[in-house]
């Protein structure tokens, strides 16, 4: 397998995918065209506009981008593609579209067979076992929360540490993930912005500029350094 799962597409004050350009170039080395999956629609933007944003970035790497919505038959589009990028947005919307159109399994098979995959945020969530640790609002009802399981854990992208100054009683991210662990025995990788997961062959590591917080049932959460194997 050859996959890169980023916490976010854009760092605060940075440009789209900028901080991770070198890693993306390496991921898609030798490939001149990829399929972009725009279904997560951040802020509700159209598939066309979202695909154009992705294409703008990939132009700088001399890689052509086609949106999956442009194809009459998205299943054969996935089967014929050389590589994939799924952008962030709303995970419920993304997972609903993938399941309803029979694409989750097709995408998984292609990636498992070695085609490179880039995910950011919601696009990273779907590489986990299921979407039960997304931060997104359940704006639509997907037929299942199951995802591709390209890695044997769940992700929490945009992982955010508790803010001690916040005078607010909504749950912290850590509280939410601990609630998940009362109902599920699945490792959760709290991926801070600026970090990503890289899987090459059977080896999965966490990379980037921050430590990564790991949550497991029956253990205190703990931190691992960039480069650590997952």
In Å, how far are 69, 85, 164 from 215, measured between CA atoms?
A: 36, 27, 20
Q: Which is nearer to a copy of itself, 82 or 176 (CB)?
A: 176
Per CB under 8 A, 178 contacts a copy of itself:
yes
- Asked if 158 is an active-site residue, the reply is yes
93 or 151, CB closer to a copy of itself?
A: 93
Tell me if 171 contacts a copy of itself by CB under 8 A: yes
Give the residue with the Cβ less far from a copy of itself, 2 or 133: 133
Site for a copy of itself in 34-73 (CB under 8 A): 41-44
| Other C-beta atoms lying within 10 Å of the C-beta of residue 182 | 7
Q: Quick one: DSSP state of residue 27?
A: H
Taking residue 187's Cβ as centre, other Cβ atoms within 10 Å add up to 19
Of 102, 138, 162, 227, which lies in the binding site for a copy of itself, with binding defined by CB under 8 A? 138
DSSP element (H, E) containing 48: helix 47-59
- How many whole angstroms separate alpha carbon 64 and alpha carbon 49? 15
**Active-site residue, selected from the candidate residues 7, 9, 121, 124:** 121
CB 217 within 8 A of CB 44: no
Binding mask 66-105 for a copy of itself (x = CB under 8 A): -----------------------xx-xx------------
How far are the Cα atoms of 49, 58, 215 from residue 177, in angstroms, in the given order? 33, 34, 8
* Catalytic residue of the set 136, 146, 161, 185: 136
Q: Residues interacting with a copy of itself, by CB under 8 A?
A: 8-13, 41-44, 89-90, 92-93, 131-141, 144-145, 158, 160, 167-171, 175-184, 193
């Amino acid at each position: 397998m050859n996959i890169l799962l980023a916490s976010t597409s854009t760092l605060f004050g940075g440009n789209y995918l900028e901080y991770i350009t070198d890693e993306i170039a390496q991921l898609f080395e030798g490939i001149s065209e990829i399929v972009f999956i725009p279904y997560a629609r951040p802020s509700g933007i159209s598939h066309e506009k979202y695909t154009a944003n992705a294409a703008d970035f990939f132009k700088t790497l001399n890689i052509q981008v086609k949106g999956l919505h442009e194809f009459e038959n998205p299943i054969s589009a996935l089967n014929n593609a050389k590589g994939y990028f799924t952008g962030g947005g709303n995970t419920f919307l993304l997972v609903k579209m993938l399941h309803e159109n029979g694409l989750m399994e097709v995408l998984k098979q292609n990636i498992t067979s070695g085609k490179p995959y880039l995910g950011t945020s919601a696009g990273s969530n779907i590489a986990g076992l299921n979407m039960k640790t997304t931060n997104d609002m359940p704006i639509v009802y997907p037929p299942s929360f199951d995802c591709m399981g390209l890695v044997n854990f769940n992700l929490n992208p945009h992982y955010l540490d508790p803010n001690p100054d916040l005078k607010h009683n909504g749950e912290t991210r850590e509280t939410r993930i601990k609630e998940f662990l009362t109902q599920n025995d699945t490792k959760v990788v709290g991926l801070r912005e600026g970090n990503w997961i890289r899987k090459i062959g059977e080896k999965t590591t966490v990379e980037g500029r921050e430590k990564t917080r790991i949550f497991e049932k029956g253990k205190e959460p703990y931190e691992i350094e960039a480069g650590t194997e997952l």
